[in-house]
Amino acid sequence: MLGRAITLVESGSPKHRLLARELLSAVAERTKADPVSMRVGITGVPGVGKSTFIESLGMELVEQGHRIAVLAVDPSSSVTGGSILGDKTRMIRLSAHDRAFVRPSPSAGTLGGVASRTRETILLCEAAGYDIVLVETVGVGQSETAVAEMTDCFLALMLPGAGDELQGIKRGLLELADVIAVNKADGETEDAATRAAAEYKGVVRSIASRDDGWEVPVLSCSAVTGVGLREVWNAVAERTTGLRESGELESRRAQQGTRWMRTMLEERIRTLVWEDRRIRSLWERIRARVRAAEMPPSVGVEELEAAIEERWNAHRSH
């Protein structure tokens, strides 16, 4: 049923959209009273060990009695044909477990569209009784921000490797991450992982601390041997429990919801404007003139704005 509900929400057909809207409204009524779930974002470059990590951790959590849903936001999948969870052989044990639900990334559409469907899928999973929702992403484009914007806690998995790699690490990512874990702390890469963790600690400390005083823990772990996984999960749980107890979780989710609505609305408005044939053809004409240096861009903007306003008023007077 959950799989079918998600397919319905992902569908683009107008008939399905109407039904999906009804379903989501009903689900919201049911879940809002009791937000017991934990939404955790997990990011890391391809090869860092995300699926191995989720499989090991997920198996441990389901054994403890949790019900886990694993979703993915993968903006590269529409181009490459699927890099996250595309391969059914990943997370074999977890996928087969009856308290786990593993869903690949919706494979088509813009990041905004994919993120919006994943967001709705989170709600459906929660309504279906999954108390932990893991949302996986690769650090491509804005996907990390999108996932951080739909989760309670954001975990960044890092490769062991120091020096140059540390220089290249995106500052933006460090600002988003609530917990950082250097994976592959085993065998030949164990020392490198420990060193990298120490260096990340220094970098994290140099970034201004969070408004809420949360100090980002930097840990090392091995998704293969399982060493350190519990500590990483404890840090994630500590973060979400803290947010829940201070009441921040609720306000954070509320804010994420309204921000997302605004983003989606702006996307729709843009589409509406660009799909207007008159605006479109005026744009073509003005663009040609600006290209030929017959009109300054600012004047072009003003003419287009006037045209948009005129169309808007015409709509309103109907």
d(CA 68, CA 62): 7
CB of 89 to ligand GDP, least distance (A): 10
Backbone conformation region of residue 295, classed left if phi is above 0, alpha if psi is from -120 to 50, else beta: beta
Q: In this complex, which beta carbon is closest to ligand GDP, that of residue 112 or of residue 226?
A: 226
d(CA 173, CA 44): 10
Residues forming contacts to ligand GDP in the complex (CB under 6 A) are 44, 46-52, 183-184, 186-187, 222-224
| Type of residue found at 275 | E
Q: In this complex, which beta carbon is closest to ligand GDP, that of residue 222 or of residue 240?
A: 222
Q: In this complex, which beta carbon is closest to ligand GDP, that of residue 23 or of residue 173?
A: 173
CB of 43 to ligand GDP, least distance (A): 9
d(CA 55, CA 34): 28
CB of 297 to ligand GDP, least distance (A): 43
Residue found under tokens 């990011």: 43
Sign of CA dihedral 135, 137, 139, 141: negative
CB of 121 to ligand GDP, least distance (A): 20
Q: In this complex, which beta carbon is closest to ligand GDP, that of residue 123 or of residue 156?
A: 156
Sign of CA dihedral 17, 144, 263, 240: positive
Q: In this complex, which beta carbon is closest to ligand GDP, that of residue 47 or of residue 297?
A: 47
Q: In this complex, which beta carbon is closest to ligand GDP, that of residue 184 or of residue 239?
A: 184
CB of 76 to ligand GDP, least distance (A): 12
Provide the strand spans (E) within the chain.
Answer: 38-43, 68-73, 100-102, 132-137, 153-158, 179-182, 218-220
CB of 194 to ligand GDP, least distance (A): 13
Yes or no: say if 220 and 192 are a contact pair by the CB < 8 Å rule: no
**Residue whose C-beta lies closest to ligand GDP:** 49
Residue found under tokens 């140099």: 206
